[in-house]
Amino acid sequence: MTASITIDRNPTQQYLLRLGDTCLILGQRLGEWCGHAPILEEDIALTNMALDLVGQARALLTHAGRAQGFDEDQLAFLRDERDYLNPTLVELPRGDFAFTVLRNLMVATLLKGLWQKLADSSDAELAAIAGKAVKEARYHQQHAADWVVRLGDGSDESRRRCEDALAQLWRYTPELFEADAVDEAAAASGLGPRWADLQAGWAAEVGEVLAEAGLVPPAESAFRSTGKRGVHTEHMGRILAEMQYLQRAYPGGAW
């Protein structure tokens, strides 16, 4: 059994890990579709996107770990749950296909906005990662938007499933744009944008797709999820158990 690593909680590190963990955990969730997607072509598409996200996570975690001498695998597999800083939205179980594509739309729109801004980051390595990732995020967003419109504006069953998914997912979106000291520090140093600064653009882009799909988001509730602060739902422990098992049981294991 390998002991956990402990990461610095300075604002830069937290900013990088929020982004890296968003990619890592959603990549893992999408990977769960491998062999289970409704059609072969979609199976390949979802796993392609999972691999894009894992690739982005690798670059970000490598970058984030360097200051403390950790590598990407240590950061991905040897942290305790509360040291993962992804927003709660991405850790929710994969749900049905409507849930998956709707969440992909929400996250890809966020990531696309972030990557676009991060291309001008004062951190040259982060800017380089962003320059590559923005193309992937653009495709992920288009793919998800296409399906949301098809399903929302499709059969009775597909519309019902989209409405259910939207009702479940929507309350996890305000967390994405909550302002805090981590984002303030990043904005001040030029590391990257406050996620809150992306909210208006995100709402417009997602709103346009939902409108085309004939879907109406629920009213905003007072509920706030807290994944970006490391306080997760019960789903996080399960997904980490699956991800970490091998590295914990066989330290440094590789093939």
Partner 1 sequence: MSETNTPNPTATEWPLWEVFVRSRAGLDHKHCGSLHAADAAMALQMARDVYTRRQEGCSVWVVRSTDITASDPGDKGMYFDPMEDKVYRHPTFYKLPTEVDHM
Based on the number of CB atoms within 10 Å of its own CB, is 5 exposed (0-12), middle (13-18) or buried (19 or more)?
A: middle
Nearer to partner 1, 95 or 154 (CB): 154
- Residues between 47 and 76 that touch partner 1 (CB under 8 A): 48
**By rule CB under 8 A, what count of residues binds partner 1?**
12
Q: Does 142 bind partner 1 (CB under 8 A)?
A: yes
CB of 91 to partner 1, least distance (A): 25
Q: Does 231 bind partner 1 (CB under 8 A)?
A: no
Query: Cα–Cα–Cα angle for 93, 101, 172, nearest 5°?
Result: 55
Tell me which stretch binds partner 1 (CB under 8 A): 40-48, 73-81, 220-228, 237-245.
40-48
Q: Which of 41, 156, 252, 255 is the binder for partner 1 (CB under 8 A)? A: 41
CB of 254 to partner 1, least distance (A): 24
CB of 63 to partner 1, least distance (A): 25
Say how far apart CA 151 and CA 86 lie, in whole Å. 28
Q: Does 150 bind partner 1 (CB under 8 A)?
A: yes
Nearer to partner 1, 42 or 81 (CB): 42
CB of 49 to partner 1, least distance (A): 9
Binding mask 172-211 for partner 1 (x = CB under 8 A): ----------------------------------------
Q: Does 42 bind partner 1 (CB under 8 A)?
A: yes
CB of 45 to partner 1, least distance (A): 4
Instruction: Give me the phi and psi of 5, to 5 degrees please.
Output: -95, 155
CB of 212 to partner 1, least distance (A): 13
Q: What is the dihedral of CA 146, 152, 158, 163, to 10 degrees?
A: 130
Contact status, residue 136 vs residue 56, Cβ threshold 8 Å: yes
* Tokens 């980490």, residue located: 240
Report the interface residues with partner 1, using CB under 8 A.
39-42, 44-45, 48, 139, 142-143, 146, 150
